[in-house]
Amino acid sequence: MPSTVGTVRVWHSEDGWGVLDSEATPGGAWAHFSEVVGDGFRSLTPGQEVEFEYEERAVDEYPYRANNIRGR
């Protein structure tokens, strides 16, 4: 699976999902809290830089899905 560096566009902590942006994922990559690497409560912050793997698999209106998300 390819990987890229990007930023968190939006994160819905209460629902456990958000959208990541990068040059490699035009239109955004949908992200689920279960793919955030870490212990305890896994959450991201809008504007945060992240590294993630992605696949071309649409979720809602976002053309990509993010996997193995790591904060930088």
Number of domains in the chain: 1
Instruction: Look at the pTM and tell me if it is higher than 0.85.
Output: yes
CATH classification of the domain holding 56: 2.40.50.140
Structural domain that includes position 54: 3-71
Nearest 5 degrees, angle CA 32-CA 34-CA 40? Answer: 125
C-beta of residue 54 within 8 angstroms of C-beta of residue 33 = no
Q: Is the pLDDT of residue 10 over 80?
A: yes
pLDDT tens, position by position, 21-67: 999 999 999 999 999 998 877 899 999 999 999 999 999 999 999 99
C-beta of residue 70 within 8 angstroms of C-beta of residue 54 = no
